[in-house]
């Protein structure tokens, strides 16, 4: 029998510490929708999304009501559209069908407008990538991602150069909303195929036909747990985070399995990422400060983040039979109040954030930079992040927003995307390096066979 303390602890996590399921994401394969006609492909995509995801909202709401746990987002994710549309060239038509279906079934984002070009780009993939700015401006819910490097393949610097231009063009086409389109565009190295979080979610080519993946949250719960052990050693700190992560993950697994069963889908993975929101007591930045930093960005931040990330993974992997996705701590600036405040106080810089990405789960995420930042500087930022990922055999990503017409101040994106102080990029440039193009070879330690 459960005891009163355990029950109160769970209720308090939900009620006071903002514990929730951040996303239940249904991943769908679209390979059966490929045809030589753009209109026919788009029709098949729309039909498949509506038929498989028609009950997603209803099922998720039932689970939320049954367990009393908030499920913040319901999302869809599809096979890389660069592959699905290659035969017809109808990339934009597919995107419009995705946007339309997402609105009909009531999900806030649909991911998978994706190309995987870590080694090379086909002509079709280049054409696809060039449609990204227009598609992100013409749709509301479609999210795009491009994988430009991997530990096995190296870094495709032609794609890196192109993506700098694509990010800038996306910002220009969505200038009236301060470059919001860029918040829906991620450039990856070592992209994972089962990530339920946006904007980088897609259904990998080796995934099943219909899979439910779950992303949990919980920075507030971790913060509350470590508030009780102030002054204790790092051993105790790590153990406390592990124990907390275990509990949160168990809840995610329960929800994921139940949703998959009710939707006639397979259960994929639980993504352990600590996903923050722009409200107080739901911030990874605040967790890092509670660990003993005067502000995120202080010397010691990278060590704290490394320990946090590792402890979350250790607790989570014990709790679930299938852990996957990105699984670590997210450090998106605009979506995390602790990060926003640290940037505004001058404590957290782009350079420190880059260092932090070498030990956390994603990368430079939701960072606004001045509108005057050049395409080649955006490419250089991408190249640096990709290098960290490729050399360290981990996922890294860049989601930066060069805010058109603004050099400083703050931009508001709304909702979970939050608000971002514009951070200055470096004054020097890497124009000649980016202009080289070509491919950075795979690192020596990738040859494991």
Binding residues for another protein (CB under 8 A): 1-2, 4, 6-11, 15, 62, 65-69, 247, 250-251, 253-254
What is the dihedral angle through the alpha carbons of 148, 153, 157, 161, rounded to the nearest 10 degrees? -10
β-strands 210-217, 21-28 pairing: antiparallel
The smaller minimum CB distance to another protein, of residues 66 and 345, is found at 66
CB of 67 to another protein, least distance (A): 4
- Rounded Cα gap, residues 206 and 228, in angstroms: 44
In 142-283, which ranges are continuous DSSP H helix? 157-173, 219-227, 234-263
CB of 70 to another protein, least distance (A): 12
CB of 242 to another protein, least distance (A): 14
Closest among 374, 326, 34, 340 to 186, alpha carbons compared? 326
CB of 330 to another protein, least distance (A): 22
The smaller minimum CB distance to another protein, of residues 66 and 230, is found at 66
The smaller minimum CB distance to another protein, of residues 59 and 416, is found at 59
CB of 248 to another protein, least distance (A): 8
CB of 244 to another protein, least distance (A): 10
The smaller minimum CB distance to another protein, of residues 10 and 446, is found at 10
CB of 220 to another protein, least distance (A): 15
CA 255, 257, 262, 267 torsion: positive or negative? positive
Q: Do the beta carbons of residue 231 and residue 292 sit within 8 Å?
A: no
Residue 349 DSSP SS3: coil
Closest among 225, 268, 282 to 70, alpha carbons compared? 282
Task: Match 């790092």 to its residue by tokens.
Answer: 234
User: What are residue 164's phi and psi, to 5 degrees?
Assistant: -60, -45
- Write a three-state SS string for 381-443: HHHHHHHHHHHHCCCEEEEEEEECCCCCCEEECCHHHCEEECCCCCCCCCHHHHHHCCEECCC
């Amino acid at each position: 029998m459960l005891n009163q303390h355990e029950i109160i602890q769970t209720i308090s996590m939900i009620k006071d510490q903002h514990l929730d399921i951040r996303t239940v994401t249904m991943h769908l394969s679209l390979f059966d929708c490929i045809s030589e006609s753009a209109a026919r492909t788009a029709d098949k995509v729309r039909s498949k999304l509506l038929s498989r995801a028609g009950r997603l909202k209803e099922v998720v709401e039932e689970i939320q009501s049954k367990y009393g746990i908030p499920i913040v987002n319901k999302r869809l994710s599809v096979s890389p559209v660069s592959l699905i549309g290659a035969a017809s060239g109808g990339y934009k038509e597919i995107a419009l069908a995705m946007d339309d279906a997402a609105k009909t079934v009531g999900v806030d984002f649909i991911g998978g407008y994706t190309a995987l070009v870590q080694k090379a780009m086909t002509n079709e993939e280049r054409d696809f990538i060039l449609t990204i700015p227009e598609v992100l401006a013409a749709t509301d819910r479609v999210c795009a991602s491009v994988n430009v490097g991997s530990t096995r393949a190296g870094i495709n610097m032609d794609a890196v150069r192109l993506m700098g231009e694509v990010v800038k063009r996306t910002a220009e086409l969505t200038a009236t909303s301060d470059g919001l389109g860029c918040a829906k565009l991620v450039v990856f190295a070592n992209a994972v195929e089962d990530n339920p979080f946006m904007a980088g979610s897609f259904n990998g080519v080796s995934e099943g036909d219909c899979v439910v993946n779950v992303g949990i949250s919980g920075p507030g719960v971790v913060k509350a747990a470590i508030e009780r052990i102030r002054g204790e050693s790092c051993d105790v700190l790590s153990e406390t985070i592990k124990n907390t992560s275990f509990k949160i993950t168990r809840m995610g697994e329960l929800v994921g399995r139940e949703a998959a069963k009710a939707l006639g889908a397979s259960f994929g993975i639980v993504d352990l990422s600590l996903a923050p929101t722009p409200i107080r007591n739901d911030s990874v930045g605040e967790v890092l400060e509670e660990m003993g930093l005067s502000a995120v960005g202080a010397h010691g931040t990278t060590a704290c983040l490394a320990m946090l990330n590792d402890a979350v993974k250790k607790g989570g992997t014990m709790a679930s039979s299938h852990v996957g996705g990105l699984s670590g701590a997210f450090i998106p600036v605009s979506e995390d109040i602790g990060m926003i405040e640290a940037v505004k106080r001058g404590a957290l810089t782009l350079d420190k954030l880059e260092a932090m990405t070498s030990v956390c789960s994603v990368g430079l995420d939701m960072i606004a930079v001045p509108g005057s930042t050049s395409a080649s500087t955006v490419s250089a930022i991408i190249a640096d992040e990709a290098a960290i990922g490729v050399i360290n055999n981990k996922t890294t990503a860049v989601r930066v927003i060069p805010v058109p017409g603004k050099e400083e101040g703050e931009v508001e994106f709304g909702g979970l995307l939050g608000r971002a102080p514009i951070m200055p990029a470096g004054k020097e440039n890497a124009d000649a390096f980016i202009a080289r193009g070509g491919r950075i070879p795979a690192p020596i330690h990738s040859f494991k066979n």
